[in-house]
Amino acid sequence: MIGSSETATGLSGARTLSDWTPDGKLPPGFDVREVVVGRDDAQLALEVVVLDAGPAASMSREALGAVHAARLGKRVTPVVVLAEVVP
């Protein structure tokens, strides 16, 4: 992503949201670290939800899909979910 603020994951975006939480319940074992908002190389809008995945986290399609659906809502901006395993 192209932008001005770089995060611990190496992502950079126009802004970083550290206080977003899904409307529904977050799947067990996951914590939202941040949401990076910016543009991709083609200058199209893009949001990346960065999750910390603890030992109890299930890296299933259903778990990550629930977070994706919660962030996507009615947006037209593409949303990507990134989960990093934390010890």
Can you tell me the distance from the alpha carbon of 87 to that of 71, in angstroms, rounded to the nearest whole number? 25
Predicted pLDDT of residue 1: 46
Predicted pLDDT of residue 62: 92
Mean pLDDT of 67-71: 92
Which residues, in sequence order, are bridge partners of residue 31? 52
How many domains, in total, are found in the chain?
A: 1
Which class for 74: exposed (0-12), middle (13-18), buried (19 or more C-beta within 10 A)? exposed
**Domain of residue 78, residue span:** 5-85
pLDDT tens digits, one per residue of 13-56: 888 888 888 887 889 999 999 999 998 888 889 999 999 999 98
DSSP-derived secondary structure for 54-68: -TT----HHHHHHHH
CATH number, domain of 18, equals 3.30.70
The pTM of this model reads 0.82
